[in-house]
Amino acid sequence: MTQVMTGVQGIPTKEFPRMTRIVPMYRVSAENATAWHAVVVASLASDLSDEPRPTSKQVHAQLTAGGLDSRRLFWLATETGGAVVGVAGLRLFTSPGQDHLAELELHVDPDRRRSGVGSQLLATAVLAAEVEQRRSLITAAASGGPGEAFCTARGFRRVLTLDHLLLDVAQADDTEADIEHPGYELVGWTGTVPNELAEAFAAAKNAMNEMPTGDMDYGNQTWTADRVRAMAKVLADRGDLLLTTAALGKGEMAGYTEIVIRAGETRRALQYDTAVVPAHRGRGLGLWVKAAMVCRLRAEHPGIVEIETDNAQDNTHMLAVNRRLGFRFHCRTHEYQLDLPTT
């Protein structure tokens, strides 16, 4: 027997086997987290075979720790007997400037692909986004992977291309860290920003609103001292370690860079934001703070041997900075957007 799904904007109506059920995950039990982790690992192993797999602890933290200015909905695709063959998470942004936006993560066990499981999960997530009155749904797909064809066939359009780069920490060119920049000084902290720097840090983070986002309907974020503290708490609640190095000058924070070491990570750090405030650009501060961060990682976290970052292809300045440090091309992903009907 079959059940007929109602057509959703951009998604053709089709029949799905009744044996697959989409179940909301209201509570993240240990069993559910284990099943979610297994699907994600299998999906990534198939699509991104060279990428490190998230640990079960990292996945559990992702599912249970609250996000910054957002809330999340989760679904499991289960078969008769309770086996989980697909998962989907929908992040609903709630802050002014981004409350039109939803972000989708969707994985299907490779053995159950092309059987309607992904389409069922997507239709469920799209319906939820419409109920929440979102106008844009974004998701990411590996270049050349099955996610590209999946998105294109279901009405998504490609809105941004990201090049992912890797830096060998041992081989990085950190000479810029020793170059003096008259009128500026370096400061650094771990976790939450010190109170005396919180307002200046928030002002500097607002420069991230100028980052290239292609044709994505990403919106804007407004950073305050309370919000930067909240962001640090989100990461701490996941068990992640946040490192920040910043340049101070002319009575304000001129630029900064952030690195995150995920809970349980023993090899790779993730580059988070790097920004230079417009009035201080053209002085090499971005390269300076990033080179200083490399030195800091070597000294404080010698087990971390590589840093991963991503850059929009048209972010030529930051790509040049990263290449100067020694970052090399690793892989490419695309951001896709589905435009939802609005009332």
> CA separation (Å) from 206 to 32, 217, 255, 273?
37, 18, 11, 11
**Is the pLDDT confidence value at 15 over 70?**
no
Higher pLDDT, 316 or 1: 316
Q: What is the pLDDT of residues 211-235, one digit of tens each?
A: 999 999 999 999 999 999 999 999 9
Q: Long-range CB contacts (< 8 A, 24+ apart) of 143-147?
A: 143/331, 143/332, 143/333, 143/334, 145/47, 145/48, 146/47, 146/113, 147/47
**Is the pLDDT confidence value at 151 over 90?**
yes
With residue 105 as reference, give the H or E element that holds it.
strand 101-108
Q: Residue 250 has what pLDDT?
A: 82
With residue 319 as reference, give the H or E element that holds it.
helix 316-325
The predicted model scores a pTM of: 0.91
Q: What value does the mean pLDDT take over residues 55-59? A: 92
Distance CA 184, CA 168 (A): 28
**Is the pLDDT confidence value at 4 over 80?**
no
Distance CA 120, CA 341 (A): 19
Instruction: Grade residue 342 by pLDDT with cuts at 50, 70 and 90.
Output: confident
Q: Residue 289 has what pLDDT?
A: 98
Instruction: Grade residue 251 by pLDDT with cuts at 50, 70 and 90.
Output: confident
Distance CA 278, CA 267 (A): 34
Q: What value does the mean pLDDT take over residues 39-48? A: 94
Q: What is the DSSP string of 126-141?
A: HHHHHHTT-SEEEEEE
With residue 58 as reference, give the H or E element that holds it.
helix 56-64
Closest CA to 273 of 288, 293, 259: 259
Six-digit token string for 308: 């991963």
75, β-bridge pairs? 24, 88
Q: What is the pLDDT of residues 269-309, one digit of tens each?
A: 999 999 999 999 999 999 999 999 999 999 999 999 999 99
**Is the pLDDT confidence value at 169 over 90?**
yes
Distance CA 118, CA 190 (A): 40
Mean pLDDT of the chain, nearest integer:
93
Q: What is the pLDDT of residues 230-243, one digit of tens each?
A: 999 999 999 999 99
Q: Residue 6 has what pLDDT?
A: 29
Q: What is the pLDDT of residues 316-331, one digit of tens each?
A: 999 999 999 999 999 9
103, β-bridge pairs? 91, 138
> Do residues 68 and 227 touch, judged by C-beta distance below 8 A?
yes
Distance CA 288, CA 15 (A): 57
Instruction: Grade residue 52 by pLDDT with cuts at 50, 70 and 90.
Output: confident
Q: Which domains does the chain have, with CATH numbers?
A: 2-155 (3.40.630.30), 165-332 (3.40.630.30)
Of 5-19, 26-40, 134-148, 224-238, the least confident:
5-19
Q: What is the pLDDT of residues 92-126, one digit of tens each?
A: 999 999 999 999 999 999 999 999 999 999 999 99
**Is the pLDDT confidence value at 156 over 50?**
yes
